[in-house]
Structure 1
Amino acid sequence: MATVANILVGLVALLHLYFLVLEMFLWTTPTGRRVFATTPEFAQASRTLAANQGLYNGFLAAGLVWGLAEGVEGFHIKLFFLSCVIVAGLYGAWTVSRRIFYVQALPAIAALVLLHFH
């Protein structure tokens, strides 16, 4: 069960690296605008805010990778960063789009549940 939990933690980390790339580097591109359903004008005007948000997603990914690198000793690190991801996902789902719950919070919830079973 620990292996499955760690694979899911790794997937959550990869998702957040993907969010980093989308928000920091692709925000104003057709791909970024399509993913976030923004207009070229809005994307350009909000580009700095999106990059900042992407940086935070990178920190979440880094924390999860750190927890994975620590092995069994990284349990509390993974617990903390998965909890941060869940809170961010719940807030995003509440304030922006329910889709954020499924893309961000739900995978982290699943990883957290599995983490507790090992």
Structure 2
Amino acid sequence: MQVVGNALVALVAALHLYFLVLEMFLWTRPYGLKTFGNTAARARDSAVLAANQGLYNGFLAAGLVWGLAHPAPVFASQLKVFFLLCVIAAGLYGAATVSRKILLVQAAPAALALLVIWLG
């Protein structure tokens, strides 16, 4: 069960690294415009905010990777739980304020990982 939990945590971390790249580097590019349904003007006007959001997603990914890499099992588990709860909170807030799709893309994978970690 621990291997599955860690694989899910790694998946959530990878998703947040992907979000970082999308928001920090691809926001105003065609792929970023298509992904977020933005116009070039709207993306240009919000690029600084998106980059800031991307940086925060990077911090979430870093915390999850820290939890995966930490050699002390109890502390590693605490790190994973904390950062997964942060991801879930961010996903719930995003779903309530931006798009319900965020619930499926961000909060649900983290909730599944958290459930498997707790069961393990």
Interval of TM-score (by shorter of Structure 1 and Structure 2)? over 0.9
Supply the distance in 1 between the matched residues of 2:90 and 2:33 (Cα, whole angstroms): 21
Name the Cα RMSD after superposition.
Answer: 0.6
* TM-score normalized with structure 2 length: 0.97
Shift of 1:34: 0.5
- Matched with 2:78 is 76
Secondary structure in 2 matching 1:97: coil
**Secondary structure of residue in 1 paired with 2:38:** coil
Unaligned segments of structure 2, at least 5 residues = none
1:91 maps to what in 2?
Answer: 93
SS of equivalent to 2:43: helix
Supply the distance in 2 between the matched residues of 1:51 and 1:96 (Cα, whole angstroms).
Answer: 17
- Please name the residue that 1:4 is paired with: 4
**1:109 — aligned with what?**
111
Residue 65 of structure 1 corresponds to: 65
Deviation at 1:23, TM superposition (A): 0.2
Gaps (5+ residues) in structure 1? none
Q: CA deviation at 1:70?
A: 1.2
State the partner residue of 2:35: 35
Query: What's the offset of the Cα at 1:45?
Result: 0.4
Task: Indicate yes or no: 2:43 matched with 1:49.
Answer: no
> For 1:21-61, what per-residue CA distance to the aligned partner results, in whole angstroms no more than 9, with x for missing partners?
00000000010011110000000000000000000000000
What's the secondary structure of 2:78's corresponding residue?
Answer: helix
How many residues of Structure 1 are paired with residues of Structure 2 in the alignment? 118
In the superposition, the TM-score normalised over structure 1's length comes to: 0.98
Amino acid at match of 2:90: A
C-alpha distance in 2 between matches for 1:4 and 1:102: 19
